[in-house]
Amino acid sequence: MKENKVISLEERAKDEAKICLEELLSEGARKLLQTAIENEVVEYLEAHRERRTDSGKRAIVRNGHHPERELVTGIGPIKVRQPRIRQRDGQKFSSAILPPYIRRVPSVDALIPALYLKGISTGDFTEALTAILGERASGLSATNVVRLKGCWEEEYKAWCRRDLSAKAYVYWWADGIYFNVRLDEERSCVLVLMGALEDGTKELLAVVDGYRESTQSWRELLQQLKRHGLTVAPKLAIGDGSLGFWLALQEEYGPVPQQRCWVHKTANILDKMPKSVQGRAKELIHEMYLSPTRKAALEAYDQFIDSYQAEFPKATDCLEKDKECLDRIEVSECRWRPH
């Protein structure tokens, strides 16, 4: 049977309306961007109108436009002409809105690694980006994606070598993230460590490949951080029940107060209960670690034990065994506490 290639009038009308709307949005964005960069130049010229050269001429003047270039955006490519400025005193103007060599807006640059991490192969990028950005998307071929990947790797290596000697983190969060992609016999595990400064600012400390969540893998990560200046231990470390991190932490930084991660603990407890009671059980768990005082937290804890111990002993045992490590809120003198 031959494939039916007849397009109904209704479908054609929808396609034409979609194309018209996309073109309208693209043209509106182009005009706004063009107006913005033109106004930026006018303001710059006005701010420096009194600057003169040794011969008395104005040091900064308009000098036409640069050649038209295409900027890839989330609504498709937009063509713009950037004003050219002639500066006779040797200084150079650089647009804050549209830097000289930018070819894609930051949101598109963020889209590319996101697609890569989702498993899109380099050969399929053109098709994937065309579906997202439109038929006219350009400059994002497989070759360019490979080049970008090389840049990401260099940026990651430079980030791993950064100086941490001036940092003092109050809290550390540690976790091992497993991926379904199997490059070896074992599932890939990425070790992640985050920290929080005294003002509450959270920062990513390390992201490295690891073998499961072994002590050796965590030890290597912590040793790398120490080599780059992170010698001050946190006041509190938060993680799941995996022994690898806790053993490595004690070896490298000495005794550090521990708190079990409430996210992991909540999932482990609810996994031992039927869905019909998980809603209320989850509310009680939230009351424990969101309580304004320890007394209120312990009341929610006792209520959970009393409510579910008879019928769901495995769930209450899971909570009880880590009670001491879950109750570490008082350790920090900061204005906020970890969850």
Average pLDDT for residues 19-42, to the nearest whole number? 72
Please, what is the average pLDDT of the chain?
77
pLDDT tens by residue, 130-169: 655 555 555 556 676 777 778 878 888 899 899 999 998 9
* Band of residue 45 on the pLDDT scale cut at 50, 70, 90: confident
pTM recorded for the entire structure: 0.58
Asked if 221 contacts 252 with a C-beta cutoff of 8 angstroms, the reply is: no
pLDDT digits (tens, 9 = 90+) for 248-263: 999 999 998 888 888 8
User: 94 or 199, which is more confident?
Assistant: 199
Give the H or E element holding residue 259: strand 258-260
The amino acid that residue 24 corresponds to is L
Long-range contacts of 327-333 (CB under 8 A, 24+ apart): 327/294, 327/297, 328/236, 328/257, 328/258, 328/259, 329/259, 329/289, 329/294, 329/297, 330/294, 331/235, 331/236, 331/257, 331/259, 332/170, 332/171, 332/235, 332/236
